[in-house]
Each structure stands twice: as C-alpha cells, then as structure tokens.
Amino acid sequence: MCTRFVYNGNDTITGFNFDIDLSVWTHTVIKEKDRFYIGIKMPDGDYHSFHGVNKNGNTGTLLYVNGNENGKHADGRTCCTISELTENFIKGEISLDDALNIVQNSTVVYAPDTTMQAMLSDRNGRVLIIEPGLGYRLERTRYSLITNYSVLRPETTRPYIVSGDDRFERGVKQLEVCDDEFSVAEAFRVLKSVKQEGLWATRVSFVYSVGGNKVYYVLNNDFEHMEEYGF
C-alpha cells in the first residue's frame, strides 16, 4: 500500500508514502552522497534502493499491484525485472531515456518474489509509468499519480480494490485544484491525507524538490517532525 505523485508547477515536486507490513520487509532510511533511499533488506543481506532519489533528479518507486499472467517473472536476455530497472534508475546508472528504451525493446517482468509496478521521473518533470505485462506510459502533465492499482488498464485490478481504499481518488481531488505555486508543504498535506495506519501503516513519507535538490521526509506519520537531506 503506497502512494506516489509528481507535480509540475514552478518547481517539480514528487511525493511518496511508503506503506508496509513490518513483518514482511525490513527497511531503513539511507542517505548517501548521491542517493537518498528507503533501503529494503533482501535475501542477499544488502539494503536495496527500490524507492528513492538520485542527486541527478532521478526518482523511482515501486508499488505493489495484483499481478497479471503476462508480467510474471521470466529469465532471458530480452527480459528485465521491474525491480532491477527501478534500482538502476535510482542509482543513476540509467537515465529516463535509457529506461524508456528498455521498456520499448525488452520485456519488463515482475521480480521472482513479488509483483510491482513503477513510477520513474526525472528533473525535467517527465514521468514513466511501467506496469509489467500491461505496458508503459511516458508523460509530462500537471500531475501524475499512482497507488496500488493499474492506471494503464484499471479494469485489470478493479476487482482487487480494497473496500474503502480511495487514496487515488482523494489524491486526484487535491492535486487537481493546485496551481503553479505547489510547494513542499502542500505535497506533505497530500501525503498526510492518504496516510495509512495499522498493519500496513505509512512508515516513511518523502518529498523531493527538484528546484532545491533536497529531500524532506518524516517517519511513522509524524508529520510534525520533518527532516531534510540536501545533495
């Protein structure tokens, strides 16, 4: 259960709520010279960057989605997992144009252990939405928004919408009325309005300002205590 958006006004601002069951994944916030990311501990013992920001403006996030058969994991020279693609983007090893080339010329599949979709964005406000098995969309609009259901083919995940889960609709309602002065504070208001509690609570919320090249973040829904990290 996560929420991600990009808003293009006078500044390009991205927001992300990381909602997770602590019994399933171990995570920690990691700040490096070139990266800010929510490290996810994987079986290899390392903390991987599937949700984060590079100092070059690359911002990538994975979001859980009910999988489809066409996106199931497969090996092969023409296949690329959505997790590998996203992490390479956050590391700055590939650009948004590189990622676009990959999705156009390779088969993007789920990782072996989970089904995810991705939103990638760059410092120019371009957004690439990738849904394994369903396709991709490149856009630069006033705002882009994704949660845990398909935005490319909503009918494929509509049967799996959790009762009462209207995060997408609430996000759209708020972002639609914002103007060019959209700020970091407004981004946090959007994230706070769609925060989760309970088993799948929001553990980390971060906002990235391209103009300031700075990440602002809060832990465990404590929106009164914001920290920041500048590149």
User: In this predicted structure, what is the pLDDT of residue 169?
Assistant: 95
User: In this predicted structure, what is the pLDDT of residue 196?
Assistant: 94
Domains annotated for the chain, with CATH where assigned, are 2-230 (3.60.60.10)
Instruction: Give tens-digit pLDDT for 73-105.
Output: 888 778 899 999 999 999 999 999 999 999 999
User: In this predicted structure, what is the pLDDT of residue 101?
Assistant: 96
For residue 187, which phi and psi values (nearest 5 degrees)? Answer: -60, -40
**CA–CA distance, 101 with 63 (Å, rounded to integer):** 21
User: In this predicted structure, what is the pLDDT of residue 1?
Assistant: 79
The pTM of the full predicted model, rounded to 2 decimals, is: 0.96
Q: Which token pair is 208?
A: 């990235």
Nearest to 161 by CA among 170, 149, 178: 149
Nearest to 56 by CA among 24, 29, 33, 31: 33
Q: How far is CA 222 from CA 173, 196, 226, in A?
A: 23, 12, 8
pLDDT at residue 68 greater than cutoff 90: no
Instruction: Give tens-digit pLDDT for 148-172.
Output: 999 999 999 998 888 889 999 999 9
* Cβ neighbours of residue 158 closer than 8 Å, sequence gap 6 or more: 149
Dihedral angle over CA of 166, 172, 178, 182, nearest 10: 80
Which residues on neighbouring strands pair with residue 30, listed in sequence order? 37
Least trusted range by pLDDT, from 43-47, 57-61, 214-218: 43-47
